[in-house]
Amino acid sequence: MENKLGNPKNTIEVIQKYEFAFQKKFGQNFLINTHVLDKIISAAGVTKDDMVLEIGPGIGTMTQCLAEAARQVVAVEIDANLIPILEDTLSGYDNVTVMNADILKVDIKKLAQEYNDNRPIKVVANLPYYITTPIIMGLFESDVPIDNITVMVQKEVADRMQVGPGSKDYGALSLAVQYYAEPYIVANVPPNCFIPRPNVGSAVIRLTRHQKPPVEVHDPALMFKLVRASFNQRRKTLQNGLNNSPEIPFTKEQIIAAIESLGVSASVRGEALTLQQFAQLANFFKS
């Protein structure tokens, strides 16, 4: 295709042609670096067998590359103003379906069924910061068959997803992501790779779905309640965090006994615990 996007000149031409106005509420920043595009496609491992779900295609920059690499692309775009632009920039591809919808309200399981016979799909996205966590957790927590999620996110969010205990970035998001997937930072992406330039650095992170979770926990929902309560008040000890949480229905004595069953002091803070220890804690309460 002659109007391939991914370089600044073609992107600016499309934006001017349609007099497109960037919407702050959608966190719109379009990628203008072909090297980064190649890295994302390659990290996601997209092949001609794959169905790819793209969240937030924008003007279709990455969608064009995905369409060339995949069997089928379903691109979900919330901004209705971008739909006519996508119809134009993707007119040369017959394996792309564009949906004007909010990804948090889309039945992705149904899409996987319809376009991929319920086999694991690959998810690729350039996610706005404010909605990164709900989208990623929504994908993991629904029973959608997923191979991997390769996303561009704010750099500090990518760091948070992959760190372990003891780091200031370690928190509920780290534990949730690592329960469901193996995180790997593919590339750091500076602000000058986007139009308009964001105020912060970005990173591409690939989350490869675990075949089965790395820890055995009888009640994952309880484990995540414990995780949230532990990090809601970071400065408090784990015991106080659990004690003060309306989500945790156990007595002070039960909480102390559970923490001591890990072989750690009751004054330990939540950020010192591994995923394995949170699983043990949940299993102790469950028994």
For β-strands 194-195 and 30-31, DSSP reports them as antiparallel
- Asked if 153 and 127 touch (Cβ cutoff 8 Å), the reply is yes
Reported as a single tens digit per residue, the pLDDT across 50-76 is 999 999 999 999 999 999 999 999 999
How high is the pLDDT of residue 1?
45
DSSP 148: E
Domains of the chain by range and CATH? 8-209 (3.40.50.150), 220-286 (1.10.8.100)
- Asked if 270 and 231 touch (Cβ cutoff 8 Å), the reply is yes
The pTM score is 0.92
Write the CB contacts of 83 (distance below 8 Å, at least 6 apart in sequence). Answer: 77, 98, 100
Q: Which residues of the chain have pLDDT under 70?
A: 1-3
DSSP string, 93-111: -SSEEEEES-GGGS-HHHH
- Asked if 77 and 102 touch (Cβ cutoff 8 Å), the reply is no
- What's the Cα-to-Cα distance from 69 to each of 33, 108, 282, rounded to whole Å? 18, 21, 43
Reported as a single tens digit per residue, the pLDDT across 115-135 is 999 999 999 999 877 788 999
- In terms of Cβ atoms closer than 10 Å to its own Cβ (0-12, 13-18, 19+), residue 180 is buried
Burial 216-249 (b: 16+ CB within 10 A, else e): ebeebebbbbbbbbbbeeeebbbbbbbbebeebe
- Our measurement of the distance from residue 56's CA atom to the centroid of its chain's CA atoms, rounded to an integer in Å, reads 13
